[in-house]
Structure 1
Amino acid sequence: MSMSARLRAELLAALPGHIQRPVYDRQQHGVGIVHLGIGAFHRAHQAAILDDVLARTGGNWRSVGISCRSRTVREHLVPQDCLYTVVERASEGERLRIIGTVADVLVAPDDPAAAIAVMARAATHIISLTVTEKGYCRDAAGGLNTEHPDIAHDLAAPSTPRTAVGLLTEALRQRRLRGATALTLLSCDNLPQNGRVLKRVLLDFASRTDPATADWIERELACPSTVVDRIVPATTPEDIAAVAEVLGCCDDAVVVTEPFSRWTIEDRFGGPRPRFEVAGAQLVSDVRPFELAKLRLLNGSHSTLAYLGSLAGFRFVHEVIADRDFRALVQHLLRAELAPTVPAAPGLDLQAYQAALLRRFANPALRHQLSQIAMDGSQKLPQRLLEPAQSLLERGLPFDGLALAIAGWIRYALGRDESGGRYVVDDPLAGRLAAIADLRGADAEQFVGALLELSEVFGEPLRNHPAFRAALARQLQSLLVRGARATVRALVQQLSG
């Protein structure tokens, strides 16, 4: 094979023998799933699990992916017959497998009607989503943000929507009119009770555009909540080049991940579904404990490392967790401040999960950039760090580690490193954060007070809690004056003393 050739179906047989490839005939399996937001995470997680399901049980469970923004993923996948490589990397080596579940990729901005049509087909039984927290376009109260410019557009022109919410609502309207039922919407985003969040914004939208569809959504639509757990760093040009050396051809759609993978799904489907459990997924009656464990222990400690580690000059997760003081801070957070906020549940071993997280963070082969985790902090902070802090406050328990982690986000929001250099704060509220930083950033108490007024981030109980405000200001002052390394070390010494 030529290194310039693109991966495609006719080349599968010629790939090196150690590379896993689909063992099923792709053409014999129809499409039963549409996925909104076909980015790297979906391709490394849900699509890989579906690949295992098809290998074990068959069925019409291939998928059509819809890109809600860019043409890039279509340009990468379609010339490759929608085949791509998942690289699982660990310190002891890597494993490559070719995934065959994706049948086609559509680009919603180019042709919203085509995207809507494939979701409205009677043969589509599941529509899944990974559109990130900001893709749900919620307001501070958790409902639909009707002032969002794209939502305002979709409400005015519902047949040519720009948002995932608008696309879904129009597809559901068409399904209702055609009498198609038995549909499940499966949110796979890092939001508490993501199924209920999705159904709420859809109802809010539909009630403004077509009340009959809102009634149908309330009555017919199943939106189980799910928890997804796999670390997927951004693919680099070096990753693509390394995979090409192994394959003997080029794969522009490579995704890199870790060996660990978990998917917990509320067993509340509206119709036919794949047998996810044969590929290791957990189907449970209540995902809430698993959800809190993942959002708080994994994502909360990840965000802590991202903000404080970036300020301290680290670039990758494995580097910062190798630092003795940062590792001690994360261990304390997991054991003493995050795990106590997660209820017990059958099949959920929090001690084992904490140990696994520390091993996963230390994986040097993954090279997970802190800047990737730090993105969209205003959307992530509430469920990752603020809700556990509020839980501890309500019970009168210490929250020193969480106060430092949250202060780390506030310090990061200044957009200046400890040497005074500027960096981009990639956040939907970046403009407002920058304006507040310019006015109040020099004074820790004023900066904390101004940011606490962001109702999209901080709820009223925390905003008006004197101990919470004081703890944030104290830790932020230390970060401003002493820097991240010294502040982390001081807290670790205090906690161990």
Structure 2
Amino acid sequence: MLNTQSLPSLAARGISAPGYARGGPVGVVHLGLGAFHRAHQALVFDALLRRGNARWGVLGVAMRSTALADALAAQDGLYAVQVANAAGVHWQLSGALWQTCVAAREPSQVVRALAAPSTRWVTLTVTEKGYGPALAGLLVQGLAARQAVGLGGLTLASCDNLAHNGRKLQALCIEAALAQSPALAHWIAATCAFPNSMVDRIVPAATAERLAAAAQALGVADQAALGTEAFWEWVIERRFVDADDADTLAAVGVTVVDDVGPFEEAKLRLLNGSHTAMACIGAVAGLPVISECIAQPAIHQFIHGLMTVEVGPQLSRPDWARYRDALLARFANPELRHRVHQIATDSSQKIPQRWTPSVLGALRTGQPVERLAFAAAAWMRYLRGSDEQGQGYAIHDPMAEQLQAQALALAHAGDAAATVQALGTLSAIWGEALPQEARWLARITHWLDQITQLGMLAALAQLNTHLTPTLETP
């Protein structure tokens, strides 16, 4: 098993061990000990530690699940990451996780860590749906303990796919603190920093094949091994308790800016929006992973057109066309094996951020929405819970029971218009304005009808043929 004792044997295999002392007081408490954090922020902290900055050791907190936290504890927090791009594949070892625990099992340990003098930062990847009273209560309890012993505030950086995530986290914490003590709320507002941030790296869920590849590469078993791509971005607002953190982070590749908004918006609408569209299309067509989706000429043409014509021109990120091209290359990476059903999870909570703003923006300016309407139709077809080969799959979504019941009942009736009227007017997903847009609903109805009659890829080919003359590359 991979652990501290196995480190000397890794050098012979070309894998460099962390060259720094591990296990001292942690500087970062991370909430949400999943694959994304371990292949993204934890590697940034590992790079800082390798540069001799010992203040960035991490306590990784799983919110509920015990299996991963315990597996990492058995490995002394060590795990390997397989990084793949067009140039090849290599493995790197992360040593930034010095401790792990589970918030639901060991809440007092989390509070003690938040209140520890060595702690400087809190980072969070708890998913979009995790920003609620339980999270706020845990954070405020730790911050109250800091205030009680006279310590300063923390930098709390949300790394979830939420627009204005820092501000939302700040509002959540202050609201919870106000219910406890106005003085505590004032202290949090005055001493803590809540920077907005945008993170970008594709990290598929771990698989048995990945674990087997890790064992072969390392010569020991690694139950927490991951795979990811070479590309990564962390764009963070210049808003820290310690102003020197800006230069420290920039030195290892983090982009520190005054306004994260343009990068945040581009990531949500270009990367995440395209991902959700491909996930629905691929799930229905029986294509299991994103690289197989984008390898289909019809899907590649569709996604390129979606980003180029309907989404990109609305963005204020100055290099959005370069970012689009990088995304197309990243989607095609066959090593990632990013499963469409993983991406389609919680789609009712993702669509309001990933598609709805683009649709509204295009409608306001008279721009095309045909590809976005097709994506919406693909989602409605996906909700039926079976692909075009008759293979069933589960819908993992907070609204799954309601959405699937409506999709199936109306599909059996063969009424695309009724399906769109039921699913396309849900204000929780589409907001208040879009359900009133007859043009938008009509185009979804058209494409849902075509998908049902022709099949997903044939309908997509028809759309591409219809729209080819409008496709222009900036």
TM range, smaller chain? over 0.9
Alignment partner, residue 232 of structure 1: 203
Alignment partner, residue 283 of structure 2: 310
- Of 248-257 and 211-220, deviating more is 211-220
Shift of 1:57: 4.2
Q: Could you tell me which amino acid in structure 2 is paired with residue 458 of structure 1?
A: W
Shift of 1:58: 1.5
Instruction: Give the unaligned 5+ runs of structure 1.
Output: 1-5, 138-150, 152-162
> Match of 2:61, SS?
strand
> Match of 1:457, SS?
helix
Kindly indicate whether the alpha-carbon contact (under 8 Å) linking 2:83 and 2:230 is maintained by their aligned counterparts in 1.
Answer: yes
Q: Could you tell me which of 142, 166, 171 is aligned with 1:171? A: 142
CA distance in 1 between partners of 2:342 and 2:403 (Å): 18
Kindly indicate whether the alpha-carbon contact (under 8 Å) linking 2:60 and 2:101 is maintained by their aligned counterparts in 1.
Answer: yes
Alignment partner, residue 324 of structure 2: 354
CA distance in 2 between partners of 1:214 and 1:454 (Å): 36
Alignment partner, residue 222 of structure 2: 251
Q: Could you tell me which of 285, 295, 302 is aligned with 2:258? A: 285
Shift of 1:338: 1.4
TM-score (structure 2 length as normaliser): 0.94
Residue 338 to residue 124, structure 1, CA distance change in 2 (3 Å)? same
Q: Could you tell me which of 16, 29, 46 is aligned with 1:20? A: 16
Q: Does 1:262 align with 2:233?
A: yes
Kindly indicate whether the alpha-carbon contact (under 8 Å) linking 2:143 and 2:153 is maintained by their aligned counterparts in 1.
Answer: no
CA distance in 2 between partners of 1:315 and 1:41 (Å): 20
Q: Could you tell me which of 447, 450, 455 is aligned with 2:422? A: 450
CA distance in 2 between partners of 1:240 and 1:332 (Å): 37
Q: Could you tell me which amino acid in structure 2 is paired with residue 22 of structure 1?
A: P
CA distance in 2 between partners of 1:479 and 1:214 (Å): 52
- Of 405-414 and 301-310, deviating more is 405-414
Q: Could you tell me which of 364, 371, 375 is aligned with 1:405? A: 375
Alignment partner, residue 387 of structure 2: 417
CA distance in 2 between partners of 1:455 and 1:212 (Å): 37
Partner deviation per Cα, 1:82-112 (whole Å, 9 max, x = no partner): 1110110234421111111111001111121
Instruction: Give the unaligned 5+ runs of structure 2.
Output: 470-474
Task: Summarize the alignment of residues 208-219 of structure 1 with structure 2, pairs less than 5 Å apart.
Answer: 208-219=179-190
Partner deviation per Cα, 1:346-398 (whole Å, 9 max, x = no partner): xxx22221111111111111111111111110111111111111111111111
Task: Summarize the alignment of residues 26-41 of structure 1 with structure 2, pairs less than 5 Å apart.
Answer: 26-27=22-23, 30-41=25-36
Kindly indicate whether the alpha-carbon contact (under 8 Å) linking 2:29 and 2:121 is maintained by their aligned counterparts in 1.
Answer: yes
Q: Does 1:74 align with 2:69?
A: yes
> Match of 1:26, SS?
coil
CA distance in 2 between partners of 1:103 and 1:426 (Å): 33
Q: Could you tell me which of 94, 97, 101 is aligned with 2:89? A: 94
Partner deviation per Cα, 1:41-72 (whole Å, 9 max, x = no partner): 00000001111112124131101011001001
> Match of 1:122, SS?
coil
CA distance in 1 between partners of 2:99 and 2:61 (Å): 9
Shift of 1:233: 0.6
Kindly indicate whether the alpha-carbon contact (under 8 Å) linking 2:59 and 2:97 is maintained by their aligned counterparts in 1.
Answer: yes
Shift of 1:420: 4.2
Q: Does 1:371 align with 2:341?
A: yes
Shift of 1:436: 2.4
Q: Could you tell me which amino acid in structure 2 is paired with residue 10 of structure 1?
A: Q
> Match of 1:60, SS?
helix
Partner deviation per Cα, 1:12-40 (whole Å, 9 max, x = no partner): 1111341132122225x641100000111
Alignment RMSD, CA only?
A: 1.8
CA distance in 1 between partners of 2:19 and 2:386 (Å): 51
Shift of 1:217: 2.9
Partner deviation per Cα, 1:415-444 (whole Å, 9 max, x = no partner): 232244431001111122123234444422
- Of 464-473 and 128-137, deviating more is 464-473
Residue 165 to residue 411, structure 1, CA distance change in 2 (3 Å)? farther
> Match of 1:66, SS?
strand
TM-score (structure 1 length as normaliser): 0.89
> Match of 2:428, SS?
coil
CA distance in 1 between partners of 2:139 and 2:383 (Å): 33
CA distance in 2 between partners of 1:179 and 1:219 (Å): 14
